[in-house]
Structure 1
Amino acid sequence: MTYSATTRQRFPRKTHRSSRRLVGILCVTAAAAWLLAVMLAPAIAAGQPIRALAISVHIIAMVLGFGAILLVDWHGFLWLIGKRQLAETIRLDGAASPLIWSGTALLLLSGAFLNPALGNPWTVVKLGAVLVLMLNGIMLIPLMRRLVVMPRSTTFASLPVGQRIHMLLCLGISQACWWAAIVIGFINAEL
């Protein structure tokens, strides 16, 4: 979508500006989609059959998106400790990205039909975690564009400090937000 693991081409300086513009547009789009889902949720009065379908789609979407995230993060960890090459990790990330984003989109769509209790503080935390994880994923685009042009044998330790910090922060934020949303979702379902 935003970078190519197969071309291995160097991006000119103006592409970095276009990356920033793309990130801005995608962040606004993601925030608007999130806001639309949150605002429409109270207006949707889904009956039991629709709600049951929405719960099924929500769980499948969670498995799809989070499962792909876990696989990419695990593979990234293996690269971090020197057990995989950068090219393998980038290739896997490129293959998993459509699964991650389609799972996230389905979570937003199906979540609007689940009649979330917006007055519940835990629900607000969950919804905030979903927004942060979407924005966090978008913020990885410039880093991935830089990584894709590096030699196949690049190690984590050889990256500039700023890129290592960026990567570790995004990883931590991603995991924290996904786990928070999942745990709160299951707790709220029991209430």
Structure 2
Amino acid sequence: MAQTDRLLPPLGPAARCAAVSAGLCALWAGSAWTAGQVHVRPALHTVALFVHLVSLVAGFGAVLAIDYLGALWLLGRRTLRQVVEATAPLHVPVWAGLAGLTASGILLEPRLESGLTQVKLVLVLLIALNGVQAGTLHRRLQEQGGARPPRRLLVRGACSALVSQIGWWGALGIGFWNTRH
């Protein structure tokens, strides 16, 4: 079967990462704008809050599992191949959780004028952009086939884990603070 001609040439990893990142920035801006326009009834607010909490459990839970497996590799309790294979399916709940948090967050009527809410929104964008590069990093680690990766990939992985943890914990903390005040 012949391959059909593409309208655009295939993108390399860097261009694909940049294109996805640009798309995420546009979605992020659109969701922030929409959140400022929406007014919901109390019943829908309650449903959105439930979806928000479920999405947090799914997304952040998967992130914690990924980082835990990475820590096991650092401690010599798992091989790199085991970690890469075990973490591959966890990218789906991370992205599903992030999408659910964003969609439900729109309906929670965030106080966009609040400096803390603005920091939280930036952290959410940072989490998403970090997730794009983490996916690229995961593919690079898969290519290593279990061999010790170059130092730059290890540093990139450590930085990605750190950014992820700061982003998720920061957004979680601000969200909790905002519900109490």
Structure 1 length as normaliser, TM-score?
0.86
Amino acid at match of 1:55: L
Cα deviation for residue 142 of structure 1 reads 2.6
Quick one: which of 177, 181, 186 aligns to 2:167?
177
Equivalent residues, number: 172
1:97 counterpart residue number = 91
Amino acid at match of 2:20: L
Q: Distance between the aligned counterparts of 1:103 and 1:23, measured in 2?
A: 20
Q: Which runs of 5+ in 2 are unaligned?
A: 1-9
Which secondary structure state, in structure 2, belongs to the residue aligned with residue 140 of structure 1?
Answer: helix
User: Contact 2:141 / 2:149 at 8 angstroms: preserved in 1?
Assistant: no
1:160 counterpart residue number = 150
- How many percent of aligned residue pairs carry the same amino acid? 30
Cα RMSD (Å): 1.3
Q: Distance between the aligned counterparts of 1:92 and 1:117, measured in 2?
A: 39
- After superposition, residues 1-191 of structure 1 pair within 5 angstroms as 18-152=12-146, 154=147, 158-191=148-181
Q: Distance between the aligned counterparts of 1:24 and 1:141, measured in 2?
A: 13
Q: Which runs of 5+ in 1 are unaligned?
A: 1-14
Per-residue deviation, residues 31-60 of structure 1 (Å, max 9, x unmatched): 111111100001111010000100000010
Q: Specify which structure has the bigger relative contact order, considering alpha-carbon pairs within 8 angstroms and separated by 6 or more residues.
A: 1
Of 119-128 and 141-150, more deviation after overlay is shown by: 141-150
2:3 counterpart residue number = none
Structure 2 length as normaliser, TM-score?
0.91
